[in-house]
DNA sequence: CGTGTCTTTGAGGCAACTCAACACTCGTGG
DNA sequence: CCACGAGTGTTGAGTTGCCTCAAAGACACG
């Protein structure tokens, strides 16, 4: 079993590897709410966290002592049932925030999909900063709303889309999110495993794999390797994802009305 | 077709039927953030909205001119696919807020499940008030976080629970929400139809009906009539809902690991 | 070059969906 | 007052498609 390589080095973030000023996500993460001269306040309470692949950052139910901002890598957020079933609620990309819900304990487990780096902030001090800089609080509110939007979209995907549709939707959304600003590339890197995709979409690994194969056979995507997807026909993929009527070919996804 | 009886009477809320002061949801809705003497500001920009059953309040994509607070009745929030499939994202109970996401257009369709009454607030004036009363904005932030929590829970339900588990979970959550403060009653009124429940849980009406029957036959619930459920064995119901290990009887929900 | 993990593909079973029929409630109007 | 029809809920029979189980290929790592 490779899963599980628990906590991690938490270094008090000295000016070691370049400050916030030249951070990759300076303009997209929480800190985007602050001016350059204000960010130092954030920097002062900040700790740096490095995670190896599959390392667990926080576990569901654990006390919520710190909140995090992902600077590089990818995290999966998940809940697990007693019998082992998993539901991945979402993937965190660079710039995303961990700890939107200010409850006493974490409501989701967070694990690294690939080696990742985060900024960690002690909760009490973060609250102080939020009072001092209202824009910081506003930014978190805004990120909460974005997360809610995503969660609502996911409910549609989970509840009403057929497997092939789910995978199509997943690819399009991931493609758009990873582009994030830059023009969308047609090559989408899939950092996560099929098992993660399955647990995100409410399917099994086999069904995910078969769905990829179907999309490839229909010429909508190419699969140079298991962790890279080339989107060949974006329009058709969107149509399959159930985002457009487009009664084109004879493709018969499944459950309709 | 009874569905669709579009918009509604919007009266400029005179002091007709008692002011906010003696409102049912005065202490649970958005307005709970304001003192009695501050609420008048809210009252001044407020309009009253009455909906008959199945009337549509706002449609997905329509410009978001007003936001609402539900005072009585029940609303369903949903998205529909071009081919007619529906996913109900959630149900609004008295005290709940409609318009948490401040986007230009509504992201969800809102329809009345039963005759309902709401307070409506023009968006620009509401924003003014939020600047004047920060606690109002804080309250909305808090309600957004609660909604996010719910949406995350729903993802687990939709993605990983078997039909009977879904229905059990639904009953328990609804029971808790409708109690809202008061001690939870074991009799849960179901205002919505089986079709609504199905579209909420990602099932068909038949499967929902059969799930109710199973739970009844196992003695976990009683069904005095189609729209009232008596919870007989809360613990067992929670166990079925996948919230506890409890390897009791021979019940075999389905998809496990 | 083994070993373990991940991915893909195949075969088969079972559960949820589809289709269909019937029971029930509740207005409406004869 | 009762017949009627529409809407809703339940139950049954059959089918489809996803999951389960199994095995082999692909790939990374030691």
Taking C1' of D8 and every protein CA, the nearest residue is B193
- Residue B150: which residues within 8 A CB-CB, separation 6 or more? B90
**Can you tell me the distance from the alpha carbon of B19 to that of B21, in angstroms, rounded to the nearest whole number?**
5
Return residue ranges of chain A for CATH 2.60.120.10. Answer: 10-157
Phi, psi of A140 (to 5 degrees): -65, -40
Return residue ranges of chain B for CATH 1.10.10.10. Answer: 161-240
What's residue B114's pLDDT? Answer: 97
What nucleotide is nearest B209 when CA is compared to C1'?
A: D10
CB nearest to A158's CB, from B147, B148, B202: B202
Q: How far is the CA of B205 from the C1' of D5 (A)?
A: 22
Taking only the tens place, the pLDDT of each residue in B166-183 is 999 999 999 999 998 788
Pairwise CB contact (< 8 Å): B101 & A199: no
| pLDDT confidence bin for A8, thresholds 50/70/90 | low
What nucleotide is nearest B194 when CA is compared to C1'?
A: D9
Taking only the tens place, the pLDDT of each residue in B73-109 is 999 999 999 999 999 999 999 999 999 999 999 999 9
Q: How many CB pairs under 8 A join A and B?
A: 121
| pLDDT confidence bin for B11, thresholds 50/70/90 | low
Spell out where B139-246 has E strands: 187-189, 221-225, 228-231
Q: Give the residue from A148, A240, A248, A253 with the most B CB atoms within 10 Å of its CB, the best one to mutate.
A: A148
**Can you tell me the distance from the alpha carbon of A232 to that of B38, in angstroms, rounded to the nearest whole number?**
57
Radius of gyration for chain A, computed over Cα atoms and rounded to the nearest angstrom:
19
Q: Which chain A residues touch B134 with a CB distance below 8 Å?
A: 134
What's chain A's average pLDDT?
Answer: 90
Mean pLDDT to the nearest integer, A168-193: 94
Q: A161-240 — its CATH code?
A: 1.10.10.10
Q: How far is the CA of B57 from the C1' of D2 (A)?
A: 38
Pairwise CB contact (< 8 Å): A202 & B102: no
Taking only the tens place, the pLDDT of each residue in A86-124 is 999 999 999 999 999 999 999 999 999 999 999 999 999
Q: How far is the CA of A7 from the C1' of D22 (A)?
A: 36
Return the structure tokens found at A133. Answer: 């800089």
Taking only the tens place, the pLDDT of each residue in B40-58 is 999 999 999 999 999 999 9
Q: Which chain B residues touch A205 with a CB distance below 8 Å?
A: none
Strand D contact nucleotides, protein CB < 7 Å: 6-13, 16-22, 27
Q: How far is the CA of A5 from the C1' of D6 (A)?
A: 61
Tell me the CB-side half-sphere exposure of residue B205, using CA atoms within 13 A: 9
User: How far does the CA of residue A14 sit from the closest CA of chain B (Å)?
Assistant: 33
Tell me the CB-side half-sphere exposure of residue A36, using CA atoms within 13 A: 4
* Residue listed under structure tokens 């199973």: B214
Question: Could you tell me what percent of chain B has a pLDDT over 90?
Answer: 82
At the topology level, CATH places domain A10-157 in Jelly Rolls (2.60.120)
CB nearest to B145's CB, from A82, A100, A149: A100
- Residue A28: which residues within 8 A CB-CB, separation 6 or more? A94, A95, A180, A181
| pLDDT confidence bin for A14, thresholds 50/70/90 | very low
Q: Is the pLDDT of residue A246 over 60?
A: no
> Nearest chain A Cα to B244, which residue?
A82
Q: Give the residue from A155, A208, A247 with the most B CB atoms within 10 Å of its CB, the best one to mutate.
A: A155
Burial class from Cβ neighbours inside 10 Å (0-12, 13-18, 19+) for residue A46 reads buried
CB atoms within 10 A of CB B61: 12
């Amino acid at each position: 079993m490779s899963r599980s390589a628990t906590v991690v080095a938490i270094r008090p973030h000295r000016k070691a590897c370049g400050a916030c000023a030249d951070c990759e996500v300076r303009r997209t993460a929480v800190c985007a709410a602050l001016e350059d001269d204000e960010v130092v306040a954030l920097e002062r309470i900040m700790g740096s966290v490095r995670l190896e692949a599959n390392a667990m950052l926080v576990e569901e139910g654990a006390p919520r002592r710190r909140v995090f901002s992902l600077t590089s890598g990818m995290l999966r957020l998940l809940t697990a049932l007693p019998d082992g079933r998993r539901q991945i609620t979402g993937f965190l990309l660079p710039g995303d925030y961990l700890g939107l819900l200010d409850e006493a304990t974490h409501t989701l487990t967070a694990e690294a999909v690939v080696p990742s780096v985060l900024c960690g902030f002690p909760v009490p001090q973060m609250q102080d900063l939020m009072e001092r800089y209202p824009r910081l609080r506003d930014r978190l509110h805004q990120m909460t709303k974005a997360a809610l939007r995503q969660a609502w979209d996911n409910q549609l995907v989970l509840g009403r889309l057929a497997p092939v549709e789910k995978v199509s939707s997943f690819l399009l959304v991931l493609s758009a999110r990873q582009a994030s600003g830059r023009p969308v590339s047609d090559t989408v890197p899939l950092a996560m495993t099929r098992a993660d995709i399955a647990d995100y979409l409410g399917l099994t690994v086999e069904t995910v794999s078969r769905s990829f194969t179907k999309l490839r056979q229909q010429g909508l995507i190419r699969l140079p390797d298991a962790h890279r997807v080339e989107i060949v026909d974006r329009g058709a993929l969107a149509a399959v994802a159930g985002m457009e009527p487009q009664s084109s070919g004879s493709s018969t996804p499944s459950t309709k009305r």
